[in-house]
Each structure stands twice: as structure tokens, then as C-alpha cells.
Structure 1
């Protein structure tokens, strides 16, 4: 037996257990199962990357649509676009640059979507199929080998059990056995089946070693393909991002290249005629003329400052105002002669034909009439007598003459103590004019009248600082007072 035993095949150490066990308890699919599980993990990893790139592809598709919405915000021409230079280098050109670059972003995202879908994803899809095929190869081969090993182990185990049964009966029967139940024959049958089992186990082991050795190269291939896919992904998606950055940079450059005064200079060139010429002198009131500016009705017969006693009976003071007698026969009072600071509305307006004049007394004279200025004070005061004081007696006389002319009472006698010779007129003793009677009735002129009134021509004109009369060439007389005589 020793010689036969040396010729039997030696059992190799396997992954299924120690060499002392004829039938190991280890599942022969353990290693193959681990490898197939690893392939499954690789397949899922590639699947994750496929989903990522597929989602990115969809994002770029959505981005293209979103950038179309962005483009619509600047698709219409600029409002009031005529104010901007339509050539390159200005605001209009800048917005055109934005339109072109935004359209390029739409096209770039659409192109990126198509490239990811048509170029990058197919790389991963092919790799996915390779891993799936490898998984199928390993799992099917392992299953087939495992079944063969399981069959051989069952046969070996069965003959070992036969050997044990008949080896035990050998003692009880005294060695009398059937030839097929002879322990010697059964042992050799066990060795035969054990040898076939070991061959199957060793073949399975060699197959696994081959698969394991191939795994390193296969995984290197998988990693290489993943790197290739990511490189393509970076070139497409990353390149698109760089293109987007470059497009935005170009927009920025278009804005930064606009000279600060480019639009203003162009605007001045186009619409300069409608702009204010800084070289023109500013307008002045003195250089402006308007219709009827020099009409006779606009020129004062006399004007200047006078003092007037306040109409308030509780006040005994005087106030200075600026007074004007106009060809419209009004005596207007103003606060001053300033036409610019405030609207020069008369503080007081007396229509002279309806007024009664008092004779000058030195530098003082009076006017009694109704204020028609429609101011609040005019509504309260009604008719009142206004007492004026001029700067001199001569100036008071001049004001009186003009007032008399404006009121239509030219030639009416008045009481005065002139400081200089005045022009005398023809005497008319015993004759009293209607104007004098009107003044007497108003109480302005007392019982005394001028016996030698000064003749004032209605055609006489008066200006501030001068007085002329039509009768200046007739000589001078000094007026005297006389008692009033009854009318003949």
C-alpha cells in the first residue's frame, strides 16, 4: 500500500481549507462571489459617473433655455436710443456686444449638452458594458466550477461513508465480505474520487488565480477609461465654463473700453444746436425788448419817492414810498422802484379824474380820492385824504402840476407860496372854474383863492426833475391872495 500511496496524486493547498480535510466545509463560491461583488461595485461607480454627466448634460440644456430668457431682456433696442452713438465703442455697441456674447452662451450650452451626450457618455456606457460582461464571465465560470467541485465532493463523501460502514462491519463478520464491500476496494475508490475532486478544486483555483491576476489589469483599464471620460468631460464642460468666463470678460472689456466722454461728445455733435452754448453771454434784462415796451402809455408822467402821512389815525408818523403818475391818470404807490425782487403790484391806486387835489404848501400837498388797488386796505379805507411831502417845495410844485394835468384840471388856481417865479396867465377876476368849485365843496380849498392863477397848458409834459409849461414865454408874475368875490 505504501507503494501505491506514493503513486497517488498529491493534493494541493486550496483556498477552501487545509489539506487535511478530504471534503472542506468552505463554500467554493466564496472567492468568486467576492470578485463578482467587486465588479458590481465598479459597475455602480461607473453608473454614478454616468448619472452625473447625464445630469450635467441636462443642466446645460436648461442653461441654454435660461440664457435665451436672459437674451430677451436686452433683445429690444434701447429706449431713447437716438441719444446714444450707434457705432462701435459706445453704449449701443456695448449692448450689441452683450447680445452677441449672450447668444454665444446659449449656443455654447447647447453645444456642450450635445457633446456630453454624444461623446463623453458613450465612453462610460462602453465601460459599463465591459464591467457587466466581466461580471457575467466571472459569475458564470465560478458557478460552473463550483458545481463540478460540489459534485466531486459529494461523490468522495459518499464513498468515505461506505468505507466507514464496511470497515466497521469487517470486525463483526470476521473478515467475511462481498468483493464490492471490501474495505480495500472502497479505499481505492475513495482515492479515485478524491483525486477527481482535487483536480476540480485545483482547476477552479487556477481559474480564480487567473481571474485575480486579470482583475488588476482590468481595474487599471477601468480607471484609465474613467480618467479618459473625465478628461473629455473637463474639455467639454470645463471648456464651456472657460468660454463663459471669456464671454463675460469680453462684456466687461466692452464696457471698460468706452471712453468716459465718448457718448457726451457724440451727443454734442448730433444735438449741439439744441444745447446751451457756454460761450454765449447770459441774458440780461437790459438787452431784451418786447412788444409795446416803449409805448407812450408805459412811460410815467412823473415818478419818484415821496413821504406820506399814514392813513392810520392812531399813527402820526410818515412812510416813504415810490409814487408814479401814469398816462392812464392813476397815482400809484409802490414800496420801491425794484421790479426784480418782488412782483411790483401797487400798494395804492387813485384815479386822478375822480380825485380832489389840495394846493401845495411848501413841500407838502394832498390828494383826496378812493383807493382802487383792490388791496385789503383799499376795501377798508374807502375815500381818504393823503398828505404827501416832497424833498423840496419845487418838487412838490412839480408833482402838483403833473397831478393837475392828469386829473384834467389844467389851469385851476391853487394856493401856493412859490420860492421861485412861476409863469403867469391871464387874469379872470370873478370867474370860478368848475374844478375850483369842486375843491371848495370838498373842503380842500378854503375861502381863499388865487387871484392870478398860473396857466397850465393841457399839452404840457412833465418828467422827473423838470417841468415845462406852454406859457413860459409870457413872462412871470407873483400870485397874490384876495378875497373871494361873488360871481357876477
Structure 2
């Protein structure tokens, strides 16, 4: 029992030391959190700098609220608010949480001093009384042993009776000290229970204040992030596009304006007389190898060219002629029913027939004898083989053959004038389907020696007109 009572003050001191460590740990945790809050505030200042610069290309967006520019203003405002909330939390921890823990730590230290100066001193007094009692008991044992072995007359102060009474005196004093120390230890133990209740209450109070500050900071941050999200979600999907269209309506294309049409476009010399065909339509030409007729679209131009195309579609394909005959250099045979022949050289570039400097005789067939006559008449006029027949009247472009208008006579083109001396008609040189005849004098229109001497060569090219000055380039424009 005595040994147990001596251990109690030391045990209580160890417990107080443990509570002191608890307070120190909590202080260190809250202090570290305070520093973390301050560090978070600085980090969010860095985050704010990432959007503090003006938005690159920001002029492309509407600067009013409700758009992308307003969204970035909201992000800057809320990010600054989050940084400020961390600063406020740091100040709150420093001002309301740490002081509670620091006071508690001080109280534990004072309790330690109190236990050391109170219960520890009582334990020392008990130990001293016990030592004094033990000395008297040992002294009594010596003198009683001497009395039994020798007898005689001992000193009065060493009389076993006196020593016994001294033991009772010191024993009584020891018991008093032990009881007093017991009372002190009981008081300390009872006080320890209340003191630990106080410690727990103080810790709870500090952590409650800490949690309120941390949760308030988290709620503010959460609210600010939600505000950023709400601002972004409230932007209409077409808000920026409508603003962009409104700001650049003088540059962008108005979808309500109809698309351009070739029918509304005009360009210089669009209706020049050199661009109007003398006749155009579908003819059939006999192939040189298979001897079968193949349809094509043919045009005689005021430049006295006979052009062949696969079809009349000049929108989807480049209008590159399959065949080009310069009629003043050609010989036109007689028309037989719906057929007639033309002898000449292909002038088209890049074609197989034009790659060789040879003359070919080509057989054509019209849809009717009337169409054949019209084609034949214009071919003879362009080749210089004039007749006594009346010029062909124009027909609509919807028919297979569309000759030129009488208002644009062939005689008005660049070439021999209409008043050239008319030659006597000669018999047909060859039939429409007859093979080419290269014998001298076999075809009508072949120049004789007398014709060449007289200057009446029908194949001689027309004199070239004087070149006109090149006009300034003019772009195609829409008609008003």
C-alpha cells in the first residue's frame, strides 16, 4: 500500500505530461492549417493572374454581360473571392481557435506545477516520517538485544521503554503525514477528473470553431464555383454568334440575300456580234474508221470557224472543241438530201486530228434536207464559195439548227466583202458520202491556175483587220 501511494503522484505527473502533448499536437495541427490557408490564398492569387490579362481576341465577343466576356469577369470576381476567403479563414483560426488551445496548454503546465509543489511535497514529508520511524524501530531492536544478552544498566535515553515511546511518537507523526498526503492525493485525483473534463471541453470548443471556419470557407468556395457554372449555363447558345453577326454585318454574308445567278451577271462585250453564232445545232459526222455517224453539237462562229462539241453543256465542262475547221481554208461540197461534205484541216489544239498537218474530208448529215440546206449555205458563204441563194433566215435556238439573224449578214464579217465577183457555179465535186477525191479538177472550188493569176483563189485567207487597242480589264458584275 505504501509503495502504491508513492507511485500515484508520479503516475499523475505522467498523465499530465501526456495531456500536455495532446495540446501541443492540436496547436501544431491548427497552426499548420492556418499556414496552409495563407498558402492557398497566395496560390489562388496566382490562379487569378491566369485570367487577369485581357482575353486574346476578346474583340470577337460581346463585351456586355451575359456573354463570354461577362463569364470571364465572373470568374475573376469569384476567384478573388476564394482567395479572400482563405485569408479570412486564416485570420479566424489565428484569432479564435489557437488562443483556446494555447490557454489549455498553459493550464496543463500549471497543473503540472501544482501537482509537483503539492502532492509531491506531501509524498516527500511522508517519506521523511517513515525514515524517522524506521530509525527508532532499528534503535529499539539494538537495545532490546543488548538487554537480553548482557543486562546491566543502560543509558536513560536508550532505555527500551523510552525508545518505544519515541517510536509511538514518530509513528503517530508518520500516520498523520500519510493521511494528509492521502487527502491531498484524493483531492488531486478528484480534481484531475474535473480537469480532464475541462480539457476535453476546451478541445471540443476549439475544434468546433475550427470546423465552422473551415466549413464556411468551403461553402463560400463552393458557392463561388457554382456561380461560375451558373454564369456559363445562362449564356444562350447563339448569344455570341448573334452579336458577332450584328457587329460584322457589313462584312459577313446576309443569308436572306439570294445567291448569285448567271442570268443576273453581265460583263463587257457580252453581246458583241463576234460572240453570236451564225448557226448552231446538232449534226451527225461520219467516223473515219467505223464509217458510222455520231451525233455532235456544231457551231459556226462569226470568226468563220466550224466547232464541234460533244454536247451543248458549257456549264459542267470546259468548252474545248473536239474539232475546229477554219472555213476559208476549207472546201465545201454539194448538199445531197441531208448530207454534205467539208474538206479541211482540224485547227483544234491538243487533238489527235489536229496533231498532223493533213487535210481530211468529213461527211456530215443533218436532221432534214432543210437543215442541211441552211448549214450548207452558211458554210459556203464562210468559205468564200458564194451562191445566188438568199441568205438563210434565223431560227430559234430550241430547234436543232439555229442560224444567225439576217441583221448580222455573213458578208459583214472580217473577210472578203459581199461585193466580190461571183464565180460561175460548177457541178458538185463529190457526193455527201463519196470518198475524198484528190484528182485535179475533181472538186468544185479548187483553185485553177487562171484563178490564182486573177487573184480569185477561193482558199486564200481574208485580209486581217487592223488590231484594235486592248480594252482595260473589266470584271463581271451583277445586273441591277
Where on the TM-score scale, by shorter chain, does this alignment land: which range? 0.7 to 0.9
The answer as to 2:294 corresponding to 1:319 is yes
Q: Contact 1:298–1:326 at 8 Å: present in 2 too? A: yes
Structure 1 unaligned runs (5+)?
1-16, 18-23, 415-424, 433-439, 451-488
**SS at 1:272 equivalent:** coil
Deviation at 1:263, TM superposition (A): 2.8
Which residue number in structure 2 is paired with residue 377 of structure 1?
352
Distance 1:272 1:160 in 2: 120
Which residue number in structure 1 is paired with residue 376 of structure 2?
400
**SS at 2:154 equivalent:** coil
Distance 2:382 2:422 in 1: 23
Which structure has more RCO (C-alpha within 8 Å, separation ≥ 6)?
2
Distance 1:213 1:379 in 2: 128
Which residue number in structure 2 is paired with residue 139 of structure 1?
116
Q: Contact 2:85–2:217 at 8 Å: present in 1 too? A: yes
**SS at 1:274 equivalent:** coil
Q: Contact 2:299–2:308 at 8 Å: present in 1 too? A: yes
Distance 1:393 1:213, change over 3 A: same
2:150 to 162, 173, 178: 173
Deviation at 1:236, TM superposition (A): 1.9
Q: Contact 1:42–1:131 at 8 Å: present in 2 too? A: yes
Which residue number in structure 2 is paired with residue 454 of structure 1?
none
The answer as to 2:101 corresponding to 1:124 is yes
Distance 1:328 1:63, change over 3 A: farther
Distance 1:297 1:136, change over 3 A: farther
Which residue number in structure 2 is paired with residue 386 of structure 1?
362
> Alignment length, in residue pairs?
408
Q: Contact 1:90–1:262 at 8 Å: present in 2 too? A: yes
Distance 1:431 1:281, change over 3 A: closer
The correspondence of residues 236-275 of structure 1 with structure 2, limited to 5 A, is 236-275=213-252
Q: Contact 1:112–1:237 at 8 Å: present in 2 too? A: yes
Deviation at 1:247, TM superposition (A): 0.6
Distance 1:330 1:188, change over 3 A: farther
**SS at 1:292 equivalent:** coil
Distance 1:445 1:400, change over 3 A: farther
Which residue number in structure 1 is paired with residue 458 of structure 2?
none
Deviation at 1:93, TM superposition (A): 1.0
Q: Contact 2:307–2:322 at 8 Å: present in 1 too? A: yes
1:336 to 289, 308, 311: 311
Deviation at 1:134, TM superposition (A): 1.4
Deviation at 1:442, TM superposition (A): 5.2
The correspondence of residues 201-212 of structure 1 with structure 2, limited to 5 A, is 201-212=178-189
Q: Contact 2:387–2:422 at 8 Å: present in 1 too? A: no
Which residue number in structure 2 is paired with residue 310 of structure 1?
287
Which residue number in structure 2 is paired with residue 113 of structure 1?
90
**SS at 2:295 equivalent:** strand
Distance 1:111 1:25, change over 3 A: closer
2:76 to 86, 99, 103: 99
1:47 to 18, 24, 30: 24
Which residue number in structure 1 is paired with residue 323 of structure 2?
348
What's the CA shift string for 1:250-276, capped at 9, x where partnerless? 112212222344333333333334343
2:442 to 446, 457, 466: 446
**SS at 2:442 equivalent:** coil
Q: Contact 1:33–1:139 at 8 Å: present in 2 too? A: no
Distance 2:262 2:70 in 1: 46
Distance 1:347 1:428, change over 3 A: closer
Distance 1:217 1:305, change over 3 A: same
The answer as to 2:179 corresponding to 1:183 is no
Q: Contact 2:140–2:163 at 8 Å: present in 1 too? A: yes
Distance 1:404 1:197, change over 3 A: farther
Deviation at 1:430, TM superposition (A): 10
Distance 1:305 1:47 in 2: 109
Distance 1:286 1:37, change over 3 A: same
Distance 2:79 2:367 in 1: 85
What's the CA shift string for 1:166-189, capped at 9, x where partnerless? 222221123643222222111121
What's the CA shift string for 1:433-487, capped at 9, x where partnerless? xxxxxxx99559726679xxxxxxxxxxxxxxxxxxxxxxxxxxxxxxxxxxxxx
The correspondence of residues 192-207 of structure 1 with structure 2, limited to 5 A, is 192-207=169-184
Distance 1:406 1:42 in 2: 125
**SS at 1:377 equivalent:** coil
What's the CA shift string for 1:161-211, capped at 9, x where partnerless? 111222222211236432222221111211222222222222222222222
Deviation at 1:36, TM superposition (A): 1.7
Distance 1:190 1:445 in 2: 181
Which residue number in structure 2 is paired with residue 459 of structure 1?
none
**SS at 1:87 equivalent:** coil
Distance 2:206 2:425 in 1: 137
Which residue number in structure 2 is paired with residue 283 of structure 1?
260
Distance 1:405 1:185 in 2: 179
When normalised by structure 2's length, the TM-score is 0.77
RMSD between superposed Cα atoms in Å: 3.0
Distance 1:447 1:56, change over 3 A: closer
When normalised by structure 1's length, the TM-score is 0.75
Distance 1:396 1:430 in 2: 19
Deviation at 1:244, TM superposition (A): 0.4
